Amino acid sequence: MRTEVAIIGGGPAGLILGQLLTRAGIDNVVIEKHTREHVLGRIRAGILEWETVELLKRAGVGERMARHGIPHDGIRIAHGDQIFRIDFAELVHKRVMVWGQTEITRDLYEARDREGMPTVHEAADVTLHGIDGNAPFVTWRKDGREHRLDCDWIAGCDGFHGVSRRTIPESIRREFQRAYPFGWLGILSPTPPAAEELIYAASDRGFALCSMRRPDLSRHYIQVPLADSVDDWPDELFWEELKRRLPAEVARDLVTGPSIEKSIAPLRSFVSEPMRHGRLCLAGDAAHIVPPTGAKGLNLAASDVHYLAEALIAAHHGRTDEIDRYSERALARVWKAERFSWWMTMLLHSFPDETPFDRRIREADLDYLAASRAARTALAENYVGLPF
């Protein structure tokens, strides 16, 4: 089998890239390790920057999002019983969209099927070959057979645990990282959201976030120790703890109910440089991870593939200068989102090893944000997303 671009990983990065290339007349194949059901069952991101919304429209998957997505003009930040608003519309004249990653992925798979573009699921032992030369290829095992796909370029979109990044020689890769001493326990519940907008809450008992997917479906998170498992958190305990971290008036009106999904995700910041080596370009979580506090992961995957699609389209027309610039261009935006996500995380979470000094600094930062329009504008500018 032969194609122009082999895309490793059928998550949002790989699927959006596939759509952008297909629409530019460039042949591509997506090779995914898991079943489609498995990919669609992962509850993850919920907040899209407006540039991501525009990109999804360009990729041909804007229709259901326009009908069912919920635009938000701001977020709330709670600090103890104090609550204040970051008004995106007023401060930076932009908004974000509540539209779940599972919905985006579903639309992207359906668009791929409609356009007749090949997707391989349940590909085992995916291996990248010849990325240093001019004739790269990918092999995998499926149905007891070895398969081979020859191509011009490989897009490594296989997430943090994928194989693509590790194919770049260690002598060339530089990795930067920070692990945080807690995780987020998240639940999805068929209950109305806590408020019209998201509430990010910093409390003495730790961080909490009240988010949503639809008017009848809420998504909530609480900061938990890394050693905890979902079995430590039956639904009643989760709701009780969430309420204790929210301002009294929000807790009082919170509607609780059964959880229909519950999972714990560790928090980490990670960047691998460069994002391109020879015929391989990395995009999305394969190259970088942000803690979810700034809602940037999926949005960074989107901006990476926007740059990468432009570069691959230029290469298709015989110009490789955009590919040469890809890593630098993508990383410039990645690092700003890393900074913002790190800052939001430091601001809103309780740290087990926090000194009294650290704590006062964090409280001063929150007070400053509540009182200063300049500080709120900086948060708003980053949250709605820096330009692609």
Q: Which is nearer to ligand RFL, 44 or 376 (CB)?
A: 44
Site for ligand PHB contains 219 (CB under 6 A): yes
Q: Which of 292, 307, 326, 349 is catalytic?
A: 292
CB of 326 to ligand PHB, least distance (A): 27
Q: In this structure, what token pair is assigned to residue 366?
A: 């929150």
Q: Point out which residues bind ligand RFL (CB under 6 A).
A: 8-14, 31-34, 39, 44-47, 101, 123, 126, 157-159, 161-163, 184, 186, 265, 284-285, 292, 295-299, 301
What is the rounded distance in angstroms from the CA atom of residue 388 to the CA atom of residue 382?
12
Q: Which of 109, 200, 221, 307 is catalytic?
A: 200
102 C-beta neighbours (distance < 10 Å), count: 18
Among ligand RFL, ligand PHB, none, what binds residue 219 when CB lies within 5 to 8 Å by partner kind?
Answer: ligand PHB
Please report, in angstroms and rounded to a whole number, the separation of the first and last CA atoms in the chain.
34
**β-bridge mates for residue 299, sequence order:** none
Q: Please list every residue from 143 through 202 that binds ligand PHB, using CB under 6 A.
A: 198
215 included as an active-site residue: no
- DSSP H helices, 43-87, are 50-58, 63-68
Q: In this structure, what token pair is assigned to residue 383?
A: 């949250």
296 included as an active-site residue: yes
Pairing of strands 217-224, 174-189: antiparallel
Could you give the string, one character per residue 282-301, with x where binding to ligand PHB holds by CB under 6 A and - elsewhere? ----------xx-x------
Which residues are CB-neighbours of 236 under 8 A, at least 6 positions away?
A: none
**β-bridge mates for residue 153, sequence order:** 5
Which residue's beta carbon is nearest to the bound ligand PHB? 46
- Amino acid identity for residue 130 in this structure: G
Site for ligand PHB contains 96 (CB under 6 A): no
Which residues are CB-neighbours of 113 under 8 A, at least 6 positions away?
A: 119
CB of 314 to ligand RFL, least distance (A): 22
What is the rounded distance in angstroms from the CA atom of residue 243 to the CA atom of residue 283?
38
Q: Which of 72, 220, 306, 349 is catalytic?
A: 72
Q: Where does this chain touch ligand PHB (CB under 6 A) — which range of 43-51, 130-138, 267-275, 359-367?
A: 43-51
383 included as an active-site residue: yes
Among ligand RFL, ligand PHB, none, what binds residue 9 when CB lies within 5 to 8 Å by partner kind?
Answer: ligand RFL
Site for ligand PHB contains 382 (CB under 6 A): no
**β-bridge mates for residue 262, sequence order:** 187
Q: Which is nearer to ligand PHB, 43 or 111 (CB)?
A: 43
Q: Which run of H or of E encompasses 39?
A: helix 36-40
**β-bridge mates for residue 129, sequence order:** 137
Active site residues: 72, 200, 292, 296, 383
Chain contacts with ligand PHB (rule: CB under 6 A): 45-47, 198, 209, 211, 219, 292-293, 295
